[in-house]
């Protein structure tokens, strides 16, 4: 079929929408990932299995280009592909951001509220008339418009319609239905008009008409994911003055587009734009959806004093928005953000001090103070929160904020000022059940608090991913006694369901590893910065307790690999020790001989295929040995990788994916890994294994994969 014939075919809109939905789904990683970087040169249909070749999912640019191309076919394809094209928005370039604001936000100077409401009412009335028997009757159409105006709320200074010209000869006056808010949301106006049309038609002939929703040319209602992970202004040759006084991402612009995104469920910020996270922006993010604590219901929780009509309308608009499910604030430390964060917590989450004030003083504060009734404000919709590296928030503000989310499943507090009291309060929650937790480099925590939380709290009983990373700079607070209690008594350790574990820098020795319960689900293990732990002890633990570990980190671990501080050790001996005591015993199939089945071969004792090593050790390995090659990240991390081993799926076989070794040199995965090795660190920020940062926005946790600035924090930075 030719392209012209294909574009002229009238397919059902449901079919076109299903095709676009499948294209979008092809860009989503599967629940169980392959742990490998995405092969951007691969093609073909994704397998949806944890496979590296064929790929399990398409890269995001491929999906975006496919949907954008479908928008150019014809109007039907445009209507079907547009919602999926706008579903996930990633801000990358400053000029792209300005275009995004122009496309989504409402410029009230160029397009007034009156003109938008007038045009929308006329279009909605005409669409409703076309759906009924009024399309050919002009008088009936004008009467429908007049009835619509009467149904909508009128302000106090409205002009009496009887004083105007007769109904059939006048156009509807949008001035009489102007919203109370000076900056209303377009989607809210359209929804109100649609409800009004339905009410008018139902009053004439109840339960007969299906009113078409007025079309909104702005795509903000389609956006469910917004992040600034790739946003940069570096390289634009802007002066310091321009960077301070002429910012691209400002609080007003962010607030403007958030108002037009009622279905937003995931938001990601970075240190490159945290100056735009003002108090109004935080209010737009968190004070939406079904809040608990009585917002809008004075009988419960907290309620505001002396709300104006405009403020009440804003609260009503936010209540009709979807709950935010994921927020990532990695690295946000600017003074603007910190001050706005503190004010947000003080205003909404901390009860005011019970102090006596004079009448004049109370009258002055009445408009901005809140009243604590019974129940604190909570956000039950938010499930995933990332605050890695948010170091400037004091504990008295950090604690109430974290405790305000009773439905958390993913929580990244690495590098924050979390205290034992906050961790104890979190552990006392009766609703939080964490699946993924990161407490790396939390220097204010005590060994006892971590032990009590992991062993005795039901909040941590279902953990599948745990990051307690520490190094020589930020020492681990854990003691050997408490670590033994954790590995022997913590429900998450005893259950054997851990998939990611990093106890780097902790007092791990032979005794601790011997007391470990079997970990059959463990895929990524961090044992870095343990200079006294021998390779043979690690080898025994891998074979006996965690044979399914694929990624192992050994930075500055083991005296056999430490040739920098020991005069008796040399780089050559360290390389021999690595291959003799670790790589060969764990990744090589055992020798077997059989006359009946000469081609049968036993699998290796473990699935080990990636080992992270220190920079000096990687330098000693040179070009590697055989299929084992060195792949460096964009930063200071590097891995020793078996490039001939990965998860491979065979579409149509019905067996899912399998871990294959000894792939041929022409295999796409091996070719791609060879290119990454030859790049010597000149790779994308998403290249690497064993992430240090939790993937929050999509919910893939510490086994997820990210690029951009989030990817640099995950795979490039040493800490």
314-367 pLDDT, tens digit per residue, is: 888 888 899 999 999 999 999 999 999 999 999 999 876 644 444 554 444 444
Return mean pLDDT, the chain: 82
pLDDT digits (tens, 9 = 90+) for 521-556: 999 999 999 999 999 999 999 999 999 999 999 999
Sign of the alpha-carbon torsion through 629, 52, 34, 685: positive
* 311 against 498, higher pLDDT: 498
* Per-residue pLDDT at 656 exceeds 70: yes
Find residue 647's DSSP bridge partners: 659
Q: Work out the pLDDT band at 306, boundaries 50, 70, 90.
A: very low
Closest of 694, 697, 695 to residue 326, by C-alpha: 697
φ, ψ of residue 641 to 5 degrees: the values are: -120, 135
Q: Work out the pLDDT band at 569, boundaries 50, 70, 90.
A: confident
Question: How far apart, in whole angstroms, are the C-alpha atoms of residue 31 and residue 703?
Answer: 10
* Per-residue pLDDT at 303 exceeds 60: no
Q: What is the mean pLDDT of residues 203-209?
A: 55
CB under 8 Å to 539, separation ≥6 — which residues? 581, 582, 585, 586
Q: Work out the pLDDT band at 376, boundaries 50, 70, 90.
A: confident
Whether the bond between 54 and the residue before it is cis, its omega within 30 degrees of 0, is: yes
Please give the pLDDT value at position 602. Answer: 82
Select, from the ranges 118-122, 194-198, 671-675, the one with the highest average predicted confidence (pLDDT). 671-675
Q: What is the mean pLDDT of residues 80-88?
A: 95
pLDDT digits (tens, 9 = 90+) for 497-523: 999 999 999 999 999 999 999 999 999
Please give the pLDDT value at position 126. Answer: 59
Please give the pLDDT value at position 673. Answer: 94
Q: Which two tokens stand for residue 379?
A: 């956000």
Contact 303, 372 (CB under 8 A): no
> Of 137-141, 475-479, 652-656, 663-667, which range is least confident?
137-141
Q: Work out the pLDDT band at 590, boundaries 50, 70, 90.
A: confident
* 181 against 662, higher pLDDT: 662
Please give the pLDDT value at position 719. Answer: 67
Question: How far apart, in whole angstroms, are the C-alpha atoms of residue 263 and residue 265?
Answer: 6
Please give the pLDDT value at position 204. Answer: 58
> Of 23-32, 222-231, 623-632, which range is least confident?
23-32
* 0.95 surpassed by pTM: no
Q: What is the DSSP string of 494-522?
A: HTT--SEEE-TTS---HHHHHTPPP-TT-
CA distances from residue 524 to 14, 36, 551, 586 in whole angstroms, order as listed: 42, 12, 5, 15
Contact 504, 469 (CB under 8 A): yes
Contact 435, 466 (CB under 8 A): no
* Per-residue pLDDT at 298 exceeds 70: no
> Of 234-243, 280-289, 692-701, which range is least confident?
234-243
Contact 482, 453 (CB under 8 A): no
Q: What is the mean pLDDT of residues 396-419?
A: 96
CB under 8 Å to 352, separation ≥6 — which residues? 369, 370, 372
> Of 10-19, 52-61, 190-199, which range is least confident?
190-199
Please give the pLDDT value at position 316. Answer: 83
CB under 8 Å to 199, separation ≥6 — which residues? 151
* Per-residue pLDDT at 75 exceeds 70: yes
The enclosing H or E element of 587 equals helix 584-587
Phi/psi region, residue 247 (left: phi>0; alpha: psi -120 to 50; beta: rest), is beta
* 359 against 225, higher pLDDT: 225
Q: Which two tokens stand for residue 434?
A: 């964490």
Burial (CB count <10 Å: 0-12, 13-18, 19+), residue 593 = exposed
pLDDT above 70 covers a percentage of the chain that reads 72
CA distances from residue 343 to 339, 401, 689 in whole angstroms, order as listed: 6, 11, 38
Cα 569 to chain centroid distance, Å, stands at 45
Q: Work out the pLDDT band at 51, boundaries 50, 70, 90.
A: confident
Q: Which two tokens stand for residue 440?
A: 């790396």
pLDDT digits (tens, 9 = 90+) for 252-293: 999 999 999 999 999 999 999 999 999 999 999 999 987 765
Question: How far apart, in whole angstroms, are the C-alpha atoms of residue 389 and residue 440?
Answer: 10
Please give the pLDDT value at position 234. Answer: 72
Q: What is the mean pLDDT of residues 574-595?
A: 86
Q: Work out the pLDDT band at 246, boundaries 50, 70, 90.
A: confident
Angle at 384 between CA 380 and CA 389, to 5 degrees: 125
Angle at 195 between CA 192 and CA 197, to 5 degrees: 110
Please give the pLDDT value at position 192. Answer: 64
């Amino acid at each position: 079929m030719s392209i012209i014939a294909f574009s002229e075919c009238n397919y059902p809109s449901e079919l076109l929408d299903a095709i676009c939905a499948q294209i979008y789904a092809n860009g989503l990683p599967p629940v169980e990932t392959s742990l490998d970087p995405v092969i951007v040169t691969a093609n073909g249909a994704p397998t949806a299995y944890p496979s590296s070749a064929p790929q399990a999912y398409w890269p995001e640019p491929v999906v975006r280009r496919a949907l954008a191309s479908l928008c150019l076919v014809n109007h039907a394809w445009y209507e079907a592909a547009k919602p999926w094209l706008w579903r996930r928005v990633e801000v990358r370039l400053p000029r792209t951001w300005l275009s995004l604001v122009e496309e989504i936000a409402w410029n009230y100077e160029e397009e007034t509220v009156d003109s938008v409401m007038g045009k929308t009412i006329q279009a909605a009335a005409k669409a409703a008339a076309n759906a009924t028997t009024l399309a050919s009757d002009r008088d009936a159409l004008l009467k429908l418009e007049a009835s619509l105006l009467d149904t909508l709320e009128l302000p106090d200074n409205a002009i009496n319609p009887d004083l105007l010209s007769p109904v059939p000869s006048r156009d509807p006056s949008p001035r009489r239905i102007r919203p109370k808010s000076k900056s209303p949301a377009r989607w809210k106006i359209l929804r109100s008009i649609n409800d009004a049309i339905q009410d008018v038609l139902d009053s004439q002939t109840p339960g007969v008409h299906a009113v078409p929703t007025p079309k909104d040319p702005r795509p903000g209602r389609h956006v469910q994911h917004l992040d600034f992970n790739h946003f940069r202004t570096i390289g634009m040759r802007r002066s310091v003055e321009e960077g301070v006084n002429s910012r691209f991402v400002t609080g007003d612009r962010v607030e403007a587009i958030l108002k037009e995104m009622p279905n937003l469920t995931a938001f990601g910020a970075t240190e490159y734009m945290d100056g735009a996270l003002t108090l109004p922006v935080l209010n737009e993010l968190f004070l939406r959806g079904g809040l608990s604590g009585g917002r809008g219901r004075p009988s419960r929780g907290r309620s505001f004093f002396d709300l104006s009509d405009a403020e009440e309308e804003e609260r009503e608009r936010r209540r009709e928005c979807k709950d935010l499910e994921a927020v990532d604030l990695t690295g946000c430390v600017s003074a603007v953000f910190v001050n706005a964060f503190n004010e947000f917590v003080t205003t909404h989450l901390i009860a005011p001090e019970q102090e006596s004030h004079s009448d004049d003083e109370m009258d002055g504060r009445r408009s901005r103070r809140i009243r604590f009734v019974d129940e604190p404000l909570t956000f039950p919709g938010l499930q995933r929160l990332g605050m890695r590296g948010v170091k400037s928030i004091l504990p008295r503000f950090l604690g109430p904020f974290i405790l305000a989310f009773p439905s958390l499943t993913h929580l990244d507090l690495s590098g924050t000022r979390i205290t034992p009291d906050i961790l104890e309060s979190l552990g006392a929650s009766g609703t939080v059940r964490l699946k993924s937790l990161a407490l790396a480099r939390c220097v204010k925590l005590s060994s006892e608090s971590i032990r009590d939380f992991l062993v005795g709290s039901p909040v941590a009983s279902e953990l599948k991913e745990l990051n307690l990373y520490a190094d020589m700079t930020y020492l681990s607070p854990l003691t050997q006694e408490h670590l033994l209690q954790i590995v022997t008594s913590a429900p998450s350790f005893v259950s054997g369901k851990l998939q990611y574990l990093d106890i780097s820098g902790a007092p791990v020795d032979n005794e601790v590893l011997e007391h470990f319960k079997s970990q059959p689900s463990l895929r990524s293990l961090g044992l870095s910065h343990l200079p006294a732990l021998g390779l043979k002890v690690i080898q025994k633990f891998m074979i006996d307790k965690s044979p399914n570990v694929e990624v192992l980190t050994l930075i500055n671990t083991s005296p056999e690999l430490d040739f920098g501080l020991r005069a008796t050790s040399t780089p050559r001996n360290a390389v021999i020790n690595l291959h003799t005591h670790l790589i060969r015993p764990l990744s090589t199939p055992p020798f077997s001989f059989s006359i009946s089945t000469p081609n049968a071969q036993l699998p290796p004792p473990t699935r080990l295929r990636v080992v992270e090593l220190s920079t000096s050790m990687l330098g000693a390995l040179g070009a590697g040995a055989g299929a084992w090659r060195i792949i460096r990240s964009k930063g200071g991390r590097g891995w020793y990788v078996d490039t001939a081993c990965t998860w491979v799926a065979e579409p149509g076989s019905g067996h899912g994916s399998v871990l294959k070794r000894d792939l041929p040199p022409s295999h796409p995965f091996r070719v791609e890994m060879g290119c990454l090795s030859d790049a010597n660190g000149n790779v994308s920020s998403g290249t690497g294994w064993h992430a240090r940062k939790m993937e929050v926005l999509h919910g893939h946790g510490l086994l997820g994969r990210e690029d951009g600035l989030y990817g640099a924090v995950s795979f490039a930075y040493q800490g």
